[in-house]
Amino acid sequence: MKNKTTIFSKNLFPFLAACTIVVFSACSTLMGGIGGDQQVPSDYPPYPEIDNTPVSFNILQMNDVYEIAPLEKGKVGGMARVATFRNQLLDENYNLMTVLAGDFLSPSLLGTMKYEGKSIKGRQMVEVMNALGVGLVAYGNHEFDVKETELQQRMDESYFDWLGTNVLHQKGNKIEPFYKESYDYKYFAPETYVWEIENYNGKPVRVGFYSATINDNQQPWVYYEDPYQEATKAYLELVQNCDVIVALTHLEIGQDMKLAALLPKTKLIMGGHEHENSLDTIGNVVIAKADANAKTVWVHRFTYYPDTKITSLESELVPITDEIEADPDVDEIVQRWQEVLTQQIKTVVDDPNQVIYHAKTPLDGREKSVRNFQTNLAGTIAAGMAASAKKPVDAAFFNGGSIRLDDQLVGDITAVDVFRALPFGGGIYEVELKGNVLKKALDAGMENKGLGGYLQWFNIEFNESSKSWKVAGKPLSDSKIYRIMVSQYVFEGKESRLDFFNQKNFIKWETAKEGDEKDLRSDIRKAVINYMKGLRQ
């Protein structure tokens, strides 16, 4: 596969010369023992004739960004603020690459909504990333949540490059790289990417990137190769012709560490997938992850010394807060999409930004949690479902996968937060069924542990050692008739292992009448918002 090369044009020469000198002298004190025989000239001539001039360059790293607007009542995150910060970095050193280490097309509340007759599905993110100046991305597992055609549209819309070292497009029997199409020309996602930075004496420094993506989002149209094997192949190629090697990955931290041990000349692995910031070192390889949703970003400042071939690296974690002003151009795009969001939420609740609850303990809506154990956020949702019943019910449950927040909620919670947690909405059903059917459904939910079909419940207990169930405080009886609240997705038997859960196996069922917006059962979000408002603060 061909490499993608970016070369700065010659007319930037005087500017680059100036900024290289400035950054070098600023960094020289940090250099300490690295390349100890390095002489730092006190007086640079404007156009020095010496070769081997150190070259400085920066990489701005984000990962796992789903929200374009600030979060936590506007205090943290926000892509317009990242844009302002990026402009400051450009003033510091024009040799800047902005990267996003996967997970941005999904999930988000806005992404699930429709605009101009089509599902938005990450279109808002690509538009913002284009305006912000993102240069390179790796594929994350969430890039394959959207449909094949939707990913193609997003790739075609993007101005940035996509690096797919172990990710390929399965088209029937054919396996080929993903591409983006522009003016009838297909740009195939490369396996390696080389950023060529021109030194001011004309000698370029080549920064090689490889990537690796976790293979846990299986789709018939996505072909995953082994991440270690493919990264190794890419690395061996880059070692031959690059001065500095970095990786842009979307793996679990343990996998990144394994990769670091395997490919020790990698200077830096910029990763994602985990949502909390981290900085680790394996041998000489640094592994950095930022907080999700641009609550923080990493700035990696490199200086390459051609004579010793040594690279110095200083990584700085920068919080993105309301102390950074929003860039007006990017903010205009963010505001336009926020308006689309507000208008759509208003079709379900009157005041999207009203504070409905104050959470002192974080409410856990992280994917890893809601698919594996009962969480406080899921319990609140299930309790809200039960509270919306017309006749008292014994219990309530829904599929954990319908929570798409992949985050925790803390402090003031608004109706918008409930929509973010449950972007797909759907009705709630009051179902009467026999204990043996209920038991089969609950057992299936347990078997779905780790998957979206793991059930989250209210008024149900499971005894791990005896594998037995209690409903409304009493052991589940096969012959007893139970009245249970379930979400629409579960009611329709759409969840894996729950296809038997359908109207043939119910004694009775009812839900909100078509068009009866006042009935809380018409939308799970409405029921949950109403329930949370009534909770003691």
Contacts with Zn ion by CB under 5 A lie at 103, 140-141, 273
Q: Which residue lies nearer to Zn ion by CB, 145 or 394?
A: 145
Give least dist CB 262 to Zn ion, A: 21
Quote the CA–CA distance of 98 and 109 in Å, as a whole number.
25
User: Which amino acid would we find at residue 70?
Assistant: P
- Nearer Cβ to Zn ion (107/208): 107
Residues 6+ apart with CB under 8 A from 19: 56, 92, 93, 94, 95
Q: Are strands 161-163 and 136-138 parallel, antiparallel or unpaired?
A: parallel
DSSP 362-399: EEE--HHHHTTS--HHHHHHHHHHHHT-SS--SEEEEE
Name, in order, each residue with C-beta under 8 angstroms of 512's C-beta and a sequence gap of 6 or more: 427, 428, 519, 520, 521, 522
- Cβ-based nearer residue to Zn ion, 103 or 243: 103
Min dist. Cβ of residue 99 to Zn ion (A) = 15
Q: How far is the CB of 32 from Zn ion (least distance, A)?
A: 36
CB of 142 to Zn ion, least distance (A): 6
Q: Which is nearer to Zn ion, 100 or 244 (CB)?
A: 100
**In the complex, what is the shortest distance from the CB of residue 402 to Zn ion, in angstroms, rounded to a whole number?**
18
Distances (CA, A) of 278 to 164, 252, 287: 23, 12, 8
CB 518 within 8 A of CB 536: no
Cα–Cα distance measured from residue 447 to residue 76, given in angstroms and rounded to the nearest whole number: 38
Round to whole Å and give the CA distance between 286 and 299: 13
Return d(Cα 514, Cα 491) in angstroms, integer: 16
Report, in Å, the least distance between residue 281 CB and Zn ion: 23
Q: Cα(213)–Cα(102) distance, rounded to whole angstroms?
A: 8
Residue nearest to Zn ion (CB): 273
How far, in Å, CA of 461 to CA of 395, rounded?
Answer: 10
**Smaller CB separation from Zn ion, 140 or 208:** 140
Comparing CB distances to Zn ion, the nearer of 103 and 127 is 103
C-beta of 79: minimal distance to Zn ion in Å? 18
- 500: CB partners within 8 A, 6+ apart: 437, 440, 493
Pairing of strands 174-176, 167-171: antiparallel
Q: What are phi and psi of 319, to 5 degrees?
A: -70, 135
Q: Which is nearer to Zn ion, 273 or 300 (CB)?
A: 273
Q: Minimal distance in Å, beta carbon 369 to Zn ion?
A: 15
CA distance 249 to 259: 10
Output the smallest distance, CB 273 to Zn ion, in A: 4
Q: Which is nearer to Zn ion, 140 or 445 (CB)?
A: 140
CA distance 41 to 171: 57
